[in-house]
Structure 1
Amino acid sequence: MNVCLLSLEWPSYGGGIGTYMFNLAKGLQECGHNTTVITHNKQPERISGVNIVETPIENENRTLKNKIMRWRWEPHHSWSQKAWDNFKEMQRSFDILETAEYGAWARHFIGNVKMPIIVRCHTPAVGVRQIPVNGNEHRIPFWLKLENKREQMQTQNADAISTPSYVLSNLMSLSWSIPVNRIKVLPNPVDTNLFRPIDFKEKQKEILYVGRLQYNKGVFDFIDAIKPLLNVHQDWTIRLIGKDLKIPDFIKSSHKMASEEILSRIPVGNRNQIKIIGWVSVDELIKYQQQAMIAVVPSRGFESFSYTLTEQMACGTAVVATHCGGPTEIISDGYDGLLVPAGDIEAMRNALQKLMIDTELCREMSRRARKTVESKYSISKVVPAITEWYGKIIGYYKND
């Protein structure tokens, strides 16, 4: 099978959809399929046997022109045109093309190529919003409304649509008027050879948070939950890895950045237990995920899947997550992790305390978490299911 993947995001540039495309390409190559990836030109990570076609990204410097043209959702708008131009020059034929809804990168491809196009819904613009506070509705910026419309049109006109979770499938169906039976649910593949556990005896008494230091991600809920436990468990460390962001206006604080607000909520005598670091390399991230006994995904906002969660589980780490979308479908509560209501600080505190005081429970949940990811979300399990679906889509397209 000759497969083309179209994605502006690709390691080490971008986020979750880039990870999905990278793992998909790796799995396709391992299954013996010819794979070409059209992506950015910022030193994209290579996969042996996979053809990478680099397409330049528009200058992202915050110039006045770029600010004025933000309604175009740069660099996505200009990159999608350049990707189409590159594709036309390739002089190659493909059986199928997969892209993401995010950025509407295939807007110029749909209706202009002789092959089926799949749109993978991962983080639609309709899901990128702040949580309403005190009953005040969050207003979506006009430029984001335009991008949402572009993404909707691309997805509706695709030959096939997939999502990593049923909760996202339902959201897409309701938000974009797409019949739910048009949407195939296939989980995100996880590289279980890269994200793998160490011996439990080598783990440290550490709780790990990975993600932006942001209200939507529930980082302040996590800090408020863990704060009373620090005096009781002074031999435990709390490590936060992620980009530091400004505090939203509705949080009344004298501080500007989230990291400052986090530390201000911790008693002075316990601040040495808090370690805040920025983004780290993948190798460093895996090291931290392996050594932590517990990891927390405390999101208040919508999570369509959560690579953060499944990668931590793959590293054999006991997890506590909120009912925020995808995690509810991944974790079997009480078996391979613990689930709590989003925003319920007391429930989160109790779940963390339960694991902190019971090493054997933590060990058993860590083992089960790894087993869950291996059996349901590994590249070797997910990608063959995707290629089987590809075959059906190609057959439908040829017979149409």
Structure 2
Amino acid sequence: MRPLVCILDASIGVTGALVAARREAELIADRARVFLVVPRAFKAPASELAAFERVVHLPIRPLRRSIGSLIAYIPALFRSGRLLRDLLRESGCDRLQVNDFTLAEGWMARRLGYRGRIVTWVRIDPKRFGLAGRLWLKAAQSASDAMVAVSKFIRDRSPKLNIELVYDPALHAARVEPTGQRLLFVGNYTRGKGQDVAIRAFHALANDFPNATLALHGATFGLPKNDAYRRELVEIASGGPGCKRIELDSYADDLPALYAGTLAAVNCSESESFSLTCQDASAHGLPVIATQCGGPEEIIDHGTSGLLVPVGDVAAVEGAMRRLLSDPEEARRMGEAGYHLVRRRFGTNAYVAKVTQLLELIG
């Protein structure tokens, strides 16, 4: 029988980490059975969960930046870690993948006696969390048999640790032809994703390109701070010359349908550990406009498969949008280059071989 792998993930909806876990489960399906452990608040379309043998909800509590949250977090961590340990033992699962180092439940399960193999992914820049990030990372290292970074950017942020680089693999997708004048921004509505920058840039060029549109797709997960940010975006969108041609829509699970009829993808994040949205757009043949914020710089070759701009620079984003809107042939060439580039750089065979080794799926 194929070995059993548990992926522990902190997502409460469809995130890059969840998509990466789902693709991993699909790619190693002939070598392992995979089940997913997520917080109780987690909700996702069935299409995102079909690759998993089952989905288990545990009372995983996020750590907030307050004394009260810290006081509540410690006993909650003990409880969720104990439940995870018991689940793994009862399932006969001796391989645990912690899908980001901030999930201290893996560390707690180890402290409470779990003896299986633990491999921890680092998907978020540890330096974003200050002291807490350093403590989480140290705890993860002490409990893990291996640590994995999803980009050189992330690996180099922790030079003292022995972290292996494993890129998320590119989709084998049908190529679309960049067409029309629609700019597409796929990203959940969380502050720092940069939708506000993209909207302001679009307003700046809207009068010169009366047929151009900007479509934004993402989710708030029902979190008050994300809902508030989305309301801010609605105000920004309604306050400029492009107001009637900016759409703020919900999460879309059929991205290929969105890519059809799109000229270019846009990502204006302040920080990205990797960026599956950039990789997916390139894998479908779209040029990508993205900020120099970490991961996208390892996916996009500036001037060849897309355009890289400084973080938070509205004028630079506007300039990149203008360039592609003014020259659809260049957009087509960049899209074609990206389509081939991501297949060479992020191949599935190398990914499967590495994950097989890390999880010790070969007897």
Within 1, Cα distance between the matches of 2:74 and 2:26?
A: 29
Within 1, Cα distance between the matches of 2:311 and 2:250?
A: 25
Deviation at 1:325, TM superposition (A): 0.6
SS in 2 for 1:333: coil
1:83 is matched with which residue? 84
1:348 is matched with which residue? 317
Within 1, Cα distance between the matches of 2:264 and 2:353?
A: 31
Within 1, Cα distance between the matches of 2:75 and 2:303?
A: 43
- The aligned amino acid for 2:118 is I
SS in 2 for 1:18: helix
1:272 is matched with which residue? 244
Within 2, Cα distance between the matches of 1:215 and 1:89?
A: 40
* Count of equivalent residues: 345
The 8 Å contact of residues 298 and 321 in structure 1, kept in 2 or not, is answered as yes
Within 2, Cα distance between the matches of 1:70 and 1:192?
A: 46
Within 1, Cα distance between the matches of 2:71 and 2:338?
A: 42
Residue 257 (structure 2) pairs with residue 287 (structure 1): yes
Deviation at 1:265, TM superposition (A): 3.6
Residue 147 (structure 2) pairs with residue 161 (structure 1): yes
- The aligned amino acid for 1:357 is S
**Alignment map for 1:16-35 (pairs within 5 Å):** 16-29=16-29, 32-35=30-33
Per the normalisation by structure 2, the TM-score is 0.82
1:262 is matched with which residue? 236
Q: Are residues 34 and 361 of structure 1, via their aligned partners in 2, closer, same or farther at CA, if it must alter by over 3 Å?
A: same
Q: Are residues 105 and 147 of structure 1, via their aligned partners in 2, closer, same or farther at CA, if it must alter by over 3 Å?
A: farther
SS in 2 for 1:374: helix
Structure 2: stretches of 5+ with no match in the other structure: 62-67
Within 2, Cα distance between the matches of 1:76 and 1:327?
A: 33
The 8 Å contact of residues 293 and 311 in structure 2, kept in 1 or not, is answered as yes
1:137 is matched with which residue? none
**Alignment map for 1:185-204 (pairs within 5 Å):** 185-193=165-173, 196-200=174-178, 203-204=179-180
1:337 is matched with which residue? 306
Residue 356 (structure 2) pairs with residue 382 (structure 1): no
Within 1, Cα distance between the matches of 2:206 and 2:289?
A: 17
Deviation at 1:355, TM superposition (A): 0.8
1:208 is matched with which residue? 184
Counterpart selection for 1:372 from 338, 341, 352: 341
2:65 is matched with which residue? none
- The aligned amino acid for 1:288 is L
- The aligned amino acid for 1:226 is F
SS in 1 for 2:290: strand
Q: Are residues 350 and 35 of structure 1, via their aligned partners in 2, closer, same or farther at CA, if it must alter by over 3 Å?
A: same
Counterpart selection for 1:313 from 278, 282, 286: 282
Counterpart selection for 1:227 from 196, 203, 218: 203
Within 2, Cα distance between the matches of 1:388 and 1:256?
A: 42
2:328 is matched with which residue? 359
Within 1, Cα distance between the matches of 2:75 and 2:284?
A: 35
Q: Are residues 359 and 379 of structure 1, via their aligned partners in 2, closer, same or farther at CA, if it must alter by over 3 Å?
A: same
2:64 is matched with which residue? none
Q: Are residues 93 and 274 of structure 1, via their aligned partners in 2, closer, same or farther at CA, if it must alter by over 3 Å?
A: closer
Q: Are residues 224 and 387 of structure 1, via their aligned partners in 2, closer, same or farther at CA, if it must alter by over 3 Å?
A: same
The 8 Å contact of residues 27 and 383 in structure 1, kept in 2 or not, is answered as yes
SS in 2 for 1:332: coil
Within 2, Cα distance between the matches of 1:57 and 1:170?
A: 32
Q: Are residues 18 and 81 of structure 1, via their aligned partners in 2, closer, same or farther at CA, if it must alter by over 3 Å?
A: farther
Q: Are residues 59 and 171 of structure 1, via their aligned partners in 2, closer, same or farther at CA, if it must alter by over 3 Å?
A: closer
The 8 Å contact of residues 80 and 108 in structure 1, kept in 2 or not, is answered as yes
Map Cα deviations across residues 302-359 of structure 1 (whole Å, 9 max, x no partner). Answer: 2100111111112221111111011111111111111111122222222111111111
1:398 is matched with which residue? none
Deviation at 1:371, TM superposition (A): 1.3
Within 1, Cα distance between the matches of 2:318 and 2:182?
A: 15
Residue 89 (structure 2) pairs with residue 109 (structure 1): no
1:46 is matched with which residue? 50
Structure 1: stretches of 5+ with no match in the other structure: 61-66, 129-139, 174-178, 249-254, 396-400
Q: Are residues 223 and 229 of structure 1, via their aligned partners in 2, closer, same or farther at CA, if it must alter by over 3 Å?
A: same
Q: Are residues 165 and 73 of structure 1, via their aligned partners in 2, closer, same or farther at CA, if it must alter by over 3 Å?
A: farther
- The aligned amino acid for 1:296 is V
Map Cα deviations across residues 49-75 of structure 1 (whole Å, 9 max, x no partner). Answer: x533x4333399xxxxxx867841898
- The aligned amino acid for 2:15 is G
Map Cα deviations across residues 84-142 of structure 1 (whole Å, 9 max, x no partner). Answer: 2111112x364x432221322312332634443211111266425xxxxxxxxxxx7xx
Map Cα deviations across residues 166-205 of structure 1 (whole Å, 9 max, x no partner). Answer: 11112234xxxxx24x110111123334xx43344xx332
Within 1, Cα distance between the matches of 2:237 and 2:17?
A: 32
Q: Are residues 114 and 247 of structure 1, via their aligned partners in 2, closer, same or farther at CA, if it must alter by over 3 Å?
A: closer
Within 2, Cα distance between the matches of 1:352 and 1:237?
A: 11
- The aligned amino acid for 1:266 is G
The 8 Å contact of residues 7 and 21 in structure 1, kept in 2 or not, is answered as no
Q: Are residues 148 and 213 of structure 1, via their aligned partners in 2, closer, same or farther at CA, if it must alter by over 3 Å?
A: same
Q: Are residues 115 and 288 of structure 1, via their aligned partners in 2, closer, same or farther at CA, if it must alter by over 3 Å?
A: same
The 8 Å contact of residues 6 and 39 in structure 1, kept in 2 or not, is answered as yes
The alignment yields a C-alpha RMSD, in angstroms, of 3.4
Q: Are residues 84 and 329 of structure 1, via their aligned partners in 2, closer, same or farther at CA, if it must alter by over 3 Å?
A: same
Q: Are residues 199 and 146 of structure 1, via their aligned partners in 2, closer, same or farther at CA, if it must alter by over 3 Å?
A: closer
The 8 Å contact of residues 313 and 370 in structure 1, kept in 2 or not, is answered as yes
